[in-house]
Amino acid sequence: MMTARTILKRTGMAIGALALLLAALWFARPLYLDRIYYRGPVSAHFDGQRFFNPDEERTPLNVFRIGFGRLWANATGQRSAQWPESIAVTPSRPPARVDGQKMRVTWIGHATVLIQTQGLNILTDPIWSDVAGPWNRLGPRRSRAPGVRFEDLPKIDLVLISHNHYDHMDLPTLQRLWTRDRPLIVTSLGNDTLLKQHGIGAVARDWAGVVPVRPGISVIVERVHHWSSRWGEDRNRALWSGFTITLPGGNIFFAGDTGWGDGGWPALAARHGPFRLAILPIGAYHPRAIFGRSHIDPAQAIAAFRALGATQALGIHWGTFQLTDEGADTPRLELAQRLQESGIATGRFVTTDPGNPLFVPLSVRPGEGEAGFAGRFSPGAKASLQK
């Protein structure tokens, strides 16, 4: 156990190192790495140059806070959990289409989800690369292989891209999809510029913007609480978002990557319900002092699920790339514990292994209650495939 003297000594060293680092970064900033992705009028979340979260104080100290938080964690002996180099995955092969109001959902890994319903194949934040980072060389390496091999993917009709971080906007994967399928790609403001620079077509909208897909089906760009950057100096030059997919059999909400902020974003999205399914991040949250503003934890994911008024939820953004300090399976285990404490029925908010399909029922049947519903909403349970 470390003494108070040791902690103070390490803290002093950490503060000194941080001061030197920040000074070096400030006076030697690589301004050539800045990018202009969007030009438009000032709004409640755009100051004419950069986007911002309207529920958060805008200050450079937010950037410094992350660096100081990491140094403090090191000074006080906090360490990252050791992930396995490789975690076994059994890939599946999805059908070509799922028609009508049936819904087949496959978590492929991280924030990548294949949604099949109404004859549409939809992908969220697709990444098949082994490394999430610049040039696919610098950054965290994949611990779980994709739950569906790229060559086994059916033809993709619609792709949703929540923001431009490397683990959510994977250009090599998007180029392969664009070349093979020419899907409709929907994203938020500024990200289309980056994609078009790499030969990929995309439609971009502001928060609350709508993109029609076909009669009765559309995509609504939703406010969430996050940030964007690919090169450091281009921080918040492009917007971040979640999405609502409106469908005849009940809507889907995909949060992408989000912190809690003031907690207002789920209520805003709830206006576009009712939601048959909410796809919510549950990982990359520890230590909270560092990542609390960027990533919700399992307890906050449950709060979002309730605020959205969703019938079912799927937990994503865990166990694929080690972005933070918690263990590979910690988010799934903590979610299960928090759900038990909250009294939410088993099966209403689930996690799955990559590639294991989830068959989503339309809704809770009148008079069924949560116990009966839980039996229908289960990974791989084909009996739960309802019309």
What is the average per-residue pLDDT within 163-191? Answer: 98
The predicted pLDDT at position 303 comes to 97
Q: At which residue do the structure tokens 């439609």 appear?
A: 203
For residue 211, pLDDT over 70 is answered with yes
Q: What is the pTM of this model?
A: 0.85
Q: What is the per-residue pLDDT across 311-322, written as a single tens digit (0 to 9) for each?
A: 999 999 999 999
What tokens does 134 get? 């610049």
For residue 32, pLDDT over 80 is answered with no
Q: 199-221 burial, b for 16+ CB within 10 Å, e for fewer?
A: ebebebbbbebebebeeebbbbb
Q: Band of the pLDDT at 28, cuts 50, 70, 90?
A: very low
Count the Cβ atoms, other than its own, within 10 Å of residue 52: 15
CB 161 within 8 A of CB 127: no
Domain boundaries, the chain: 103-384
Q: At which residue do the structure tokens 């950057």 appear?
A: 229
Q: Band of the pLDDT at 6, cuts 50, 70, 90?
A: low
Average pLDDT, the chain: 85
The predicted pLDDT at position 372 comes to 39
CATH class of 103-384: alpha beta
For residue 12, pLDDT over 90 is answered with no
Q: What is the per-residue pLDDT across 327-370, written as a single tens digit (0 to 9) for each?
A: 889 999 999 999 999 999 879 999 999 999 999 998 644 333 34
For residue 303, the one-letter residue type is A
Widest Cα–Cα separation across the chain: 68
d(CA 26, CA 17): 14
CB 291 within 8 A of CB 328: no
What tokens does 43 get? 């709004």
For residue 19, pLDDT over 90 is answered with no
How crowded is the C-beta side of 79, counted as CA atoms within 13 Å? 4
Q: 323-357 burial, b for 16+ CB within 10 Å, e for fewer?
A: bbbbbbbbbbebbbebbeeeebbbbbbbbbbbbeb
